[in-house]
Amino acid sequence: MKVGSTGCVTSSGQLRMAAPLQTCTREERRSVIRFLSSEGVKPTEIRRRMKTQYGDPCLSLQQAYNWDSKFKNGMPSVAGADRAGRPRTACALERVQHAERVTRETRRVTTDALALELDISHGSAHHIVHDALQQHHKVCARRVPRQLTAELTERHMEACDERTKLKRVLFFSAQSLEMKPGPTISSQKQRKRAKSGHIRIHRNPKNVVPNLQRIEGH
C-alpha cells in the first residue's frame, strides 16, 4: 500500500481517499506542527496539509510560522505557557445570569447601577451587557430591549398609523387654506388695481380665483 498526497493506494491499485478530521484541539494542532517541523517540513506545507485534513479555520499561516519557530528554538511542550494574573471572575456565569435578571426586571437600569449591584467594575458590567448578553443597546443613557414584544410592536404600529393620519389632516388643511378662492373681480378691474399698486395678484395655473392682498403703505 502506497501513500499518496490525498489518500492511500491499496495493493489492488484503487485509491482510497483519506477521511478529513472534524475536530482539532489546540494540543493536537501543536503536536502535528511539532512533528512535521522535526521532519524539516516548511510551515507553508504544514498549513496546506493541516488545511486538507482539518479545514481552513484550524490554522493560519502566521500561526504555523510562529509555532514552527518556537519548536525549533527548543520549546519542550505543546501546552501553552502559564500566564501571569488570576482568572477572570467578573464575567462568570453566575454574574451573567444575575445581570440578565436585573436588566429584565428593571429596563431602565444604568451600567453604573448594574456594576454596583454585581460588585464589579464599570467595564466588566459593560462587557456583560453588550458582549455576554447581547440583548440591550444604549439610548440616551438608558437601556431598552432590542426585540420588542408583540404588545409593544402593536402599540408602535398604532402610534405610527395615528401619526400618519394626523400628518394627512394637517397637509390637506393647509392645502385647502392656500387654495381657498377669493372674491370674484373682473379682469379689467384687476389690471387697473394692479397697475395702481394697490393690489397684488397671484396667478394660479389651475384657474382658481386667487386671494387679493392689499398692500399697505403704497
Q: ∠ at Cα 159 (154, 165), nearest 5°?
A: 125
Which CA distances in Å does 49 have to 29, 59, 61? 12, 10, 12
pLDDT above 90 covers a percentage of the chain that reads: 1
pLDDT tens, position by position, 3-26: 444 555 555 555 454 556 666 777
pLDDT band, residue 211 (cuts 50/70/90):
very low
Phi, psi of 8 (to 5 degrees): -120, 140
Check pLDDT > 60 for residue 30.
yes
**Which has the higher per-residue pLDDT, 200 or 176?**
176
- pLDDT of amino acid 180: 53
pLDDT of residue 164: 86
- Eight-state DSSP code of residue 180: -
Tens digits of residue pLDDT in 76-111? 777 765 555 555 666 678 888 888 888 888 878 888
pLDDT at 74: 83
pLDDT at 210: 46
What sign results for the dihedral spanned by CA atoms 189, 193, 195, 199? Answer: negative
Residue 29 has pLDDT above 50, yes or no: yes
- Cβ atoms of 39 and 68 closer than 8 Å: no
pLDDT of residue 51: 82
Task: Output 172 or 3, whichever has higher pLDDT.
Answer: 172
Report, as an integer, the average pLDDT of 151-165: 87
- List pLDDT tens digits, range 99-143: 888 888 887 888 888 888 888 888 888 888 887 776 655 434 455
The burial of 68, by beta-carbon neighbours within 10 Å (0-12 exposed, 13-18 middle, 19 or more buried), is given as buried
Residues 43, 89 contacting (CB under 8 angstroms): no
